[in-house]
Chain A
Amino acid sequence: MKAKVYVTLKKSIADPQGTAIQNALGKLGYSNVEEVRIGKLIELDLGDVSEGEAEAQLVKMCEGLLANTVIEEYKYEII
């Protein structure tokens, strides 16, 4: 079972990297870009587990390590 976890800063947390990229895109001519947010993509191979188990594990992994829920949000997809 494979999964992808996306970790992003909460909307309430400023993302200076995103702002820098937005400015750079503006210099490339994409002045229409209104916001850029940078996050992390974590790909996991969970081995031989059921979809239910995979989901239960992913929630625990995200809450325990992959995301810091003080500042970040996460979502995952099981492939």
Chain B
Amino acid sequence: MKFGVIVFPGSNCDIDCFYAVKDVLGHEVEYIWHDTEKLNGFDCIILPGGFSYGDYLRCGAVARFSRVMAAVKEHAAAGKLVIGICNGFQVLTEVGLLPGALVRNKNLKFICDTVPLKVEANDSPFTSLYQKGEIINIPIAHGEGNYVADEETLKKMKENGQILFTYVDNPNGSMSDIAGICNEGRNVLGMMPHPERACEDILGNSDGKRLFESILNALEGSLKNE
């Protein structure tokens, strides 16, 4: 399976994502510079965390216009997998691939911690190896992770089971304790917590590894069906 990690000016979790795919999972992965026009041959695209374009104006607002994002939209429209982690999640909401927006944490603080998450749904390519209702611990590191959406959008997301992860102890003020969501097509994931930082027991936590293994499972399954 081939993963691609998008690198914007200011991305700083790109190497962690690359490492998780290559060294932990043992799969092929390439860095993709933000001015790349075509994404050919990638099974899953990762938008990593960081401060793309300095987070000027709003987090993800400028990254949205980088050349590669048109290609990411095409990739998603073809039903292929896209994950946005932290700043990547913010970019995906700005570009409209995911509903809602992320605003300043309620307590105004940048929060760097490991927090318990509840897996709300496991019928997605990103969460299939978790149990529904399972509590996992995943690191967070953000100042603007407070998820907001209008009531109608929230209601629709709940009905469709698009909320995949919620915080057990809401750290940032997110509506409905939302930590991670997917789109209606269930092929685009956005989450503020960092699964790529929780992939090895030797680093203290491997709860995030199953997210990547779920993706591999889904990709291998779709190959068999072709």
Is A57 in the interface zone, CB < 8 Å from B? Answer: no
A1-45 CB mask vs B (1 if < 8 Å, else 0) is 000000001001110110010000000000000000000100000
Cα separation A9 to B102 with both chains bound (whole Å):
12
Indicate the size class of the contact surface on chain A.
Answer: 10 to 19
Is B108 in contact with A70, judged by CB distance below 8 angstroms?
no
Is A54 in the interface zone, CB < 8 Å from B? Answer: no
Q: Known contacts being A14-B173, A16-B108, is A9 close to B57, with CB within 8 Å?
A: no
Is A13 in contact with B103, judged by CB distance below 8 angstroms?
yes
Which of B3-11, B71-79, B93-101, B114-122 contacts its partner? B93-101
Count CB-based A-B contacts (< 8 Å).
34
Is B61 in contact with A17, judged by CB distance below 8 angstroms?
no
Q: Known contacts being A13-B103, A17-B108, is A65 close to B149, with CB within 8 Å?
A: no
A40 proximity list for chain B (CB < 8 A): 57
> Which residues of B does A touch, CB under 8 Å?
57-58, 61, 65, 93-94, 99-101, 103-108, 148-150, 173
Cα separation A13 to B100 with both chains bound (whole Å):
12
B94 proximity list for chain A (CB < 8 A): 68
> Which residues of A does B touch, CB under 8 Å?
9, 12-14, 16-17, 20, 40, 65-66, 68, 70-71
A17 proximity list for chain B (CB < 8 A): 104, 108
Q: Known contacts being A70-B93, A70-B101, is A13 close to B148, with CB within 8 Å?
A: yes
A71 proximity list for chain B (CB < 8 A): 101, 103, 148
B99 proximity list for chain A (CB < 8 A): 70
A-B contact pairs, 11 of them (CB 8 A): A13-B148, A14-B106, A16-B105, A16-B108, A16-B173, A65-B65, A68-B61, A68-B101, A70-B99, A70-B148, A70-B150
B149 proximity list for chain A (CB < 8 A): 70
Cα separation A36 to B94 with both chains bound (whole Å):
26
Q: Which of A12, A16, A66, A70 contacts B107 (CB 8 A)?
A: A16
Cα separation A16 to B103 with both chains bound (whole Å):
10
Cα separation A20 to B106 with both chains bound (whole Å):
10
B105 proximity list for chain A (CB < 8 A): 16
Extra A-B contacts (16), CB below 8 Å, given A14-B173, A16-B107, A71-B101 = A9-B103, A12-B150, A14-B106, A16-B105, A16-B106, A17-B104, A17-B108, A20-B108, A40-B57, A65-B61, A66-B57, A68-B94, A70-B99, A70-B100, A70-B148, A71-B103
